Amino acid sequence: MNGRSVPFGLFERMLAGRYLRARRQHGGVALISVISVTAIALAVAALIIIMSVMNGFRETLLSRILGVNGHVYVDVRGMPRPEIDRLMRLAAQAPGVLHVTPIINEQALGTVDGRAAGVLVRGIPRAQLESLPIVSESIRPPGTLAGFQGIDSPTILIGDRLAATLGVTEGMAISILSPQGAMTPFGLTPRRKSFVIGGVFSVGMSEFDSILVYMPIEQAQIFFNRGDSADVLEIRIENPDRTTAAMMELRSRLGPDVMLYDWRANSQGLADALVVERNVMRLIFMVVVAIAALNIVTGLILMVKLKNRDIAILRTMGATRGAILRVFFMASASVGVIGLAVGLLVGVGFCVFIQPIQDFISMLTGFDIFPGTVYSLESLPAKIEWMEVLIISVFTIALTFSATALTAWWASRLDPVEALRYE
């Protein structure tokens, strides 16, 4: 070997590879390499899994929330019908608006044979309900919307968890009790009416399935003394993430006195919690990756200590400091690259097959590891954001390369005379 050896050539690569493999007298080098690879792999896999699950949670929850609720709301409570119709026409003309629907929302009490549960009654036109696939396509029996229309229809739809709480099924009757009753000489008398359950739907989110009742808007207007008016105008737009711009456009069309709010106002706590948790988890696991990268530094320091004599011999044979630096840099960088590759494989594979893994663990342990009543979702979601995977990969490579560069430089500065003095 001479000082003019090709940088990153065959000899340097071979030497770096030999330093990563176990030798009889220095088997600890290989052990440290294995530990470093494992640490990097576990950190990368955990980061990918956690971020993918958080993305899956956010997407699934938002799809359920937006599948049931509108994107923008106009408060029309107390307005006469002609004014409501005028606002509906103006809102429908705004760019990006898909449709505008009058809605009635009212809290009530559902009772069946002594069992009771608080419900949220939503009066909605049949056409609008049919345009909500997350509800209409989950009705049991499938597609049952017969009778859900008009003032003479006693048919309602309820969530499956509410049906389980009250012990009812399709075709059975349920009494709805509303405090918005008639005024009598003895005060306000609650209004009570019996309705037939036309179908049971399942949104897949316990927050809705345990409380929501759909009623034809004509029935809701009569039952809650709304006349021919409504509570809100539910507006759906093309892009639910652009509600701020949509509300600015609507305000310019509807006037400054109209109260507008979007879907985030109804689920502000959940939306904020998802953002905060996502950012905190990203920060925590970035720190975990940094700690794992420090293992490479530890391994490299041990490798240099074990290879002091070899480094001194190479230097006396003509190896340059640059050659020594490149050898140890390649040895440690390969640990980071291998750890990253294994971590990507494990993390992406876990996210792709997360449902079979969940089912297998549940079968193995004998209990549901992800109960819907606790987590509001029926299964553990995961969505891989490939841009995040790329960022994680770049961050890991940059961190490991930076961590190894300094230690490799230290190895290249080793004095061969000092290393061989006590040999």
Q: Is the pLDDT of residue 102 over 80?
A: yes
**What is the model's pLDDT at position 374?**
55
Q: How far apart are CA 202 and CA 165, in angstroms?
A: 14
Dump the DSSP string for 324-357: HHHHHHHHHHHHHHHHHHHHHHHHHHHHHTHHHH
Residue spans of the domains in the chain: they are 10-62+271-420, 70-266
**What is the model's pLDDT at position 3?**
44
Helix (H, G, I), strand (E, B) or coil at 213: strand
| DSSP-derived pairing of the beta strands 212-216 and 155-159 | antiparallel
**What is the model's pLDDT at position 24?**
46
Reply yes or no: is the peptide bond before residue 141 cis, omega within 30 of 0. yes
In the 8-state DSSP scheme, what is residue 240?
Answer: G
* Averaged pLDDT for residues 279-297: 72
Q: How far apart are CA 345 and CA 343, in angstroms?
A: 5
Beta-carbon contacts of 341 under 8 Å, excluding residues fewer than 6 positions away, are none
Q: How far apart are CA 205 and CA 190, in angstroms?
A: 30
Looking at per-residue confidence, does 49 or 402 come out higher? 49
* Averaged pLDDT for residues 277-303: 71
Question: How big is the CA angle at 136 (ends 133 and 142), to the nearest 5 degrees?
Answer: 120
pLDDT > 70 fraction of the chain, expressed in percent and rounded: 73
**What is the model's pLDDT at position 59?**
80
Helix (H, G, I), strand (E, B) or coil at 243: helix
Q: How far apart are CA 171 and CA 235, in angstroms?
A: 32
Please state, as a whole number, how many other Cβ atoms lie within 10 Å of the Cβ of residue 210.
21
Q: Is the pLDDT of residue 125 over 80?
A: yes
CA 129 to chain centre: 26
Looking at per-residue confidence, does 307 or 201 come out higher? 201
Please state, as a whole number, how many other Cβ atoms lie within 10 Å of the Cβ of residue 298.
15
pTM above 0.75, yes or no: no
Q: How far apart are CA 182 and CA 190, in angstroms?
A: 7
Q: How far apart are CA 301 and CA 307, in angstroms?
A: 10
Assigned token pair, 283: 């920060």
* Averaged pLDDT for residues 111-118: 88
Beta-carbon contacts of 215 under 8 Å, excluding residues fewer than 6 positions away, are 121, 122, 123, 124, 156, 195, 223
Q: How far apart are CA 348 and CA 389, in angstroms?
A: 9
Q: Which of 89, 95, 64, 96 is nearest to 74 (CA)?
A: 89
Q: How far apart are CA 396 and CA 294, in angstroms?
A: 11
Average pLDDT, the chain: 78
Q: How far apart are CA 127 and CA 149, in angstroms?
A: 9
Whether residue 36 contacts residue 299, with contact meaning beta carbons closer than 8 Å, is answered with yes
Q: How far apart are CA 132 and CA 144, in angstroms?
A: 14
Q: Which amino acid is at 174?
A: I
Q: Is the pLDDT of residue 329 over 60?
A: yes
Helix (H, G, I), strand (E, B) or coil at 256: coil
Question: How big is the CA angle at 141 (ends 136 and 147), to the nearest 5 degrees?
Answer: 70
**What is the model's pLDDT at position 74?**
92
Long-range contacts of 90-97 (CB under 8 A, 24+ apart): 90/253, 90/254, 91/233, 91/235, 91/250, 91/253, 91/254, 93/253, 94/246, 94/249, 94/250, 94/253, 95/249, 96/237, 96/238, 96/239, 96/242, 96/246, 96/249, 97/235, 97/236, 97/237, 97/246
**What is the model's pLDDT at position 371?**
63
Looking at per-residue confidence, does 271 or 162 come out higher? 162
Residue 6 has phi, psi (to 5 degrees) of -70, 125
pLDDT tens, position by position, 348-396: 999 888 888 877 777 777 776 666 555 556 667 788 888 888 888 888 8
